[in-house]
Structure 1
Amino acid sequence: MKSNRYRVLAFVMIMLLIFSQSVTAKQHQKPSNKEKKEYQQRVKTAFLKGWDAYKNYAWGEDAVNPIKKGSHNWYQESLLMTPVDAFSTMYLMGLKEQMKEDKALIFSKLDFDKNFEVQQFEIAIRLLGGLISAYQLDGDPRFLALAKDLGDRMIPVFDTPTGIPYRLVNLRTGEISGNGTNPCEVGSMLLEYGMLSKLTGDPKYYDLCKRGVVALYNRRGTTGLVGSWIDCDTGEWKDTRAHISGGIDAYYEYLLKGYLLFGDPELKEMWENCRDAVNKYLVDDGKNGYWMGWADMNDGKRTFTRFGALDCFWNLTNVLEGDHERAEKFQASVYKMWMMEGIEPEAVDYSDMSIPEDAKYYMARPEAIESTYYTWKATGDIKYYQQGKAMFESIEKFCQVDNGYVQLKDVTTKEKWDTLESFFFAETMKYCYLFFAPEKVFDFQKYVLNTEAHPFKNTWDKGWKGNQIGLK
C-alpha cells in the first residue's frame, strides 16, 4: 500500500512538473511574425480609415463626425487638434505621405493668436506635447517655434497667490480665469513645460509649473492623498474625495514620469509618498478583483467603489517601477472590465460589477490598452498580447462605421456616438500598433510617453542641477 502511495505521489509530481513547464512555455511563447505583420497592417488600415474621414469631412477643423460627414471644434475656431495629435503616431507607423500633408496643414493653418480662452491643461497635453514630440521625432524647427509661442501664451495661468495655476487662459490677451481646479490640471503639464524648458534653454516653464505641483503636494491630506477640487487663490480644498480617476490621474502619473525624464529628486520623493498613500488607502483587493476605489483624503475612509476607464493608467506606474505582481493583478481587473460587454464602459461599480447608468459609454479611450501593452512588455506573457489583440478587435467590431470610426453611447446596446476625438489617433491607435510593431520602431525604455502618448526623449545630461523648490 505504501509503495502504491509513493507511485501515485510520484505520478502527481511528474504531472505537475509537466504542467508547470507547459504553462511557462506558453507564457514565454512569442506571437508569430506573420501574425504580427498582419495586425500591423490592420491597425495602420484602421488609423488611415479614421484619418481619411478627417480629411474628407473635417479638414482644418479640430475633430470629425463621420456619420453625419461633418466636423466640430473645441472653441470658436479650430486649433487643429487632430492633425497635431495624430503626427507622432504617423511617424511611428512610417506614414510618410500622411506626415507630409499633415505638416503642410499645420504650418499653413495653425495660429495661436486667438481671442478666446482655452482649458490650459488639455491644450498642453495635446498641442504643446504634440508639437514638442513632433519636433523631436521629425526635427523640423517650426514645430518647436509653434510650441514656444503656445507655451508663452499659456504661461500666465501660473501667476496666482499660491502658485497653483488657474484653469483657463485667453491665448491673445493672457487673461486668466477659473480659480477652482483639480490636481490633474495642476500637474499634468509638467512634462510638456519641462521639455519646453530643456529644448529652449529657458527654465521658467518648468519652474513655474513645478511650483504649482509642489504647492498642491504640500496641501495633501493627512493620508498623503490629494483631493478632487482646490481653490487656486487660497489653497483651500473644496472637495476632499481622493481617487486616481479623471481630475487626479495624471497628477500622479507625471510625478513618476517627470522624475524618469528629468531626474529631479524632489519629484521622486513626491511620487514615492503619493504611491504609498494610494496603495494603502485606495487599493480594494476583494472577491471581485483588484481595484482602486475612492476615499477621503484626510481619514482614508472608503467613499465610493467606482473604477473608471481613466484609472487604468495606474498600471504603467506599476510596470515602470518593476512591480510586476501588482501589475498582473491590476491588469486582470482591467481586462475583466473590458470584457463585461465586449468593450469597455466608462466605469464600473466593482462592489457588484454593475455599470452605472451615467457610465455606459465608450469614448474610444486608450488607457486599458495602454495598461495591457505595458504589462505585455514587462512580463512577456503572451496572454497579455492576446488581450491587446482582443481589445483592438473590439474597436474594429463595435466602433467602425462605413466611413470611419466613432465612439459608443452605450456599450450594452452598442449604440453609436457620432464623434471621434483626437486621442483616438494619438493614443488608442498608437498603443494598438505598438503591440504588433517591430521592436526597432519604439523602445519604451528610451522614451517617456506623455499622457497623450506623445514620445519625449531625454537628450541632455540627466544629472539634476535645478533648484530645490521646498517640500513640506
Structure 2
Amino acid sequence: MNRNLSFTQCLATSLATAILFTCLLLPQVSLAKDKISKKEKKEYQERVKTAFIKGWDAYMKYAKGLDAVNPISEKGHNWYAESLLMTPVDAFSTMYLMGLEKEMSEAKELIFSELNFDKDLEVQQFEIAIRILGGLISAYQLDGDQRFLDLAVDLADRMLPVFESPTGIPYRLVNLRTGATSGQGTNPCEIGSMMLEYGMLSKLTGDSKYYDLCKRGIVASFERRGKTGLQGSWIDQDTGEWADTRAHISGGIDAYYEYLLKGYLLFGDKDFLEMYEVSRDAVNKYLVDETSVEGEFWIGWADMNTGERISTRFGALDCFWNGCYVLEGDIERAEKLQASINKMWFLNDIEPEAIDYTTMQPFYKGAEYYMMRPEAIESTYYVWKATGNKTYYVQGKKMFESIEKYCQVDNGYVQLKDVRTKEKWDTLESFFFAETMKYCFLFFADDDVFDFEKYVLNTEAHPLFNTWDKGWKGNHHGIK
C-alpha cells in the first residue's frame, strides 16, 4: 500500500502511544505558523466571531425558542411539531471555544428554561443523537453544569428503544414519550454514528448500557459487510438483509466509518480499530478512483460485493474522509484528496452538494445547492494542521471568505439554492454554528483555544474528551 506510515505503526496498542506522528509533524507546523502574521490571525478570528454572532442574533431576534432561523423572511422553523432547541444546543460548544460569554448565557437560559424531551414526537434518532445528545454532553464537559448531563441522560433513555431489534441494528425513528419505534430499513450512518455520544454517556454515568447497545448494532452491521469489506446503503434491521448494495462514503454511510476510527481514539476499543482497518482498506481498494480523471484522486461508488464501480459521484459530505486520512497518518492520500476537494469548492467559488467528478457538473438535478456544510472546510483544516503547508491555510481562509461573500444577507447568513447563480435559500440550520463556524474559527484561533491532546470532535464538531483517564497524553492530530 502507498502510505507514509503503516496504520499499525501509527496506532499502537495503548492510547498513550496510539495517537499519531507528533514528532514527525511538529517541526513543519511550527515553521508554517511563523509565516502567518498574528495580526492577520487576530483579524480573521474577529471576522469569524462576527459572522457567528450575526447568525446567532438573527436566531434570537426571529426564531428564539425554535429549532432554526429563516433570516430573509424573518421567522423560524422547527424540525418537528415542537421545538427541541436545535440551534442553542448545537451552537453552545462553539460559543464556548470563541469565549462568547453573552451568547453562552443566552443559550443556557433557553436550554434550561425550555428544553424538555417529554414530547409526543417521533424523531430521527441519529440526527438527534449527534446534534442534541452530543451537544449536551460536550456542553457539560466544557461548562461543567450538571443540568446539561441530566438532560443528556433523559434524552438517551428515551431513545434507547431503537436498539430493540432482532439483530441489534437500531430502528431509525423513536417517539420520545412512548418509546415506540419505526422506520423499517436503515443505513450504516444511522447504525454507527452515535457511538461517541452513547459511549461518552456510559463513561460519564458509569452505566454501560449506552455503550453496549450502540456497539452491538455496529458489530451486527460490520458482520454483514460485503465481500469487499464495504458497507452497503440500506439494510433491514429485522432480517439483516441488504436491500441496497451500493457502497460509498457519502451521506448514509459517511460517519459510520468516521466513528470506527474516532471510537478507537476516544475509547481505546480495539474492536473499532480492527473494523476501521478492514473498512479503510476496502475504501482505498474499491472506492478510490485515480483512473477516471488522469492525475486526480477521487472516491466514488461501487458494489459492496463485487467492487465494480457504479458511479463517479463525489460530494460535500464525502470530504469528511480526509479527516480520517489525517488522523491515521496517511498524509500522502490526504493531500491528493484535498486537491480534489479544493477543485470542487472553487469551481464556482463555493461547493455544490454533489458532482460527477468526470465532468465537474452537479451529479443530479438539484445537486447544485450549498447547505453551508462544513466538511470541505473541516478537511482543509485537518490537512493544514497536519502538514503545516500554508497553501491549505490560504484555502481555508478563502473558503470562509466565500461564505462571507455569497451567503451573508442583511439579517444573517443563508444557504444557496445554486452555487452557479448564487441564488439565496432562506434557511440557516444549526450546523452552521456547530461545525462550519467552528472549523473556520479554529483556522485562526490561538493555540491554547483548543487542546488537541484531549479532544475528539464528533461528526457535529462537538468536542468530547476522556475524563475517565487523567493520564492520557494522546495527540491524535499530531500537533499541540
Q: With structure 2 as the length reference, what TM-score do the two structures score?
A: 0.90
Contact 1:229 1:237 (8 Å CA) reproduced: yes
In 2: Cα distance, 1:206 partner to 1:400 partner: 41
In 1: Cα distance, 2:212 partner to 2:441 partner: 35
Cα deviation code 1:237-289 (max 9, x no counterpart):
00000000000000000000000000001111000010000000000013162
Q: In structure 2, what residue type is equivalent to 1:278?
A: V
Aligned to 1:368: 376
SS class of match (2:362): coil
In 1: Cα distance, 2:243 partner to 2:254 partner: 18
Q: 1:439 aligns with which of 437, 447, 453?
A: 447
23-32 or 85-94, which moves further after superposition? 23-32
Contact 2:29 2:387 (8 Å CA) reproduced: no
Aligned to 1:132: 137
Q: In structure 2, what residue type is equivalent to 1:363?
A: M
- Of all paired residues, the percent bearing the same amino acid is 76
SS class of match (2:314): strand
1:353 Cα deviation after fit: 1.7
1:197 aligns with 2:197: no
1:30 Cα deviation after fit: 2.5
1:335 aligns with 2:327: no
Contact 1:162 1:234 (8 Å CA) reproduced: yes
Contact 1:263 1:463 (8 Å CA) reproduced: no
Aligned to 1:319: 326
Aligned to 1:208: 213
Rg larger for: 1
Contact 2:168 2:237 (8 Å CA) reproduced: yes
Q: Kindly report which structure 2 residues correspond to 1:75-154, keeping only aligned pairs within 5 A, or say none.
A: 75-154=80-159
| Number of residue pairs the alignment of both structures matches | 442
Aligned to 1:417: 425
Cα deviation code 1:309-352 (max 9, x no counterpart):
00000001111011111111111111110000000100110112
Distance 1:26 1:206, change over 3 A: closer
Aligned to 1:289: 296
Q: With structure 1 as the length reference, what TM-score do the two structures score?
A: 0.92
Query: Is there any run of 5+ residues in structure 1 with no aligned partner, and where?
Result: 1-22, 465-472
Q: Kindly report which structure 2 residues correspond to 1:392-411, keeping only aligned pairs within 5 A, or say none.
A: 392-411=400-419
1:405 Cα deviation after fit: 0.1
Aligned to 1:155: 160
Please provide the CA RMSD for this pair. 1.6
Contact 1:50 1:405 (8 Å CA) reproduced: yes
In 2: Cα distance, 1:208 partner to 1:463 partner: 28
Q: Kindly report which structure 2 residues correspond to 1:175-190, keeping only aligned pairs within 5 A, or say none.
A: 175-190=180-195
In 2: Cα distance, 1:192 partner to 1:289 partner: 36
Query: Is there any run of 5+ residues in structure 2 with no aligned partner, and where?
Result: 1-27, 473-480
Contact 1:288 1:353 (8 Å CA) reproduced: no
Contact 1:26 1:382 (8 Å CA) reproduced: no
Cα deviation code 1:39-88 (max 9, x no counterpart):
00000000000000000000000000000000100000000000000000
Q: In structure 2, what residue type is equivalent to 1:160?
A: S
Q: 2:399 aligns with which of 391, 400, 411?
A: 391
SS class of match (2:297): strand
Q: 2:175 aligns with which of 167, 170, 179?
A: 170
Contact 1:263 1:462 (8 Å CA) reproduced: no
Q: Kindly report which structure 2 residues correspond to 1:62-77, keeping only aligned pairs within 5 A, or say none.
A: 62-77=67-82
Aligned to 2:358: 351
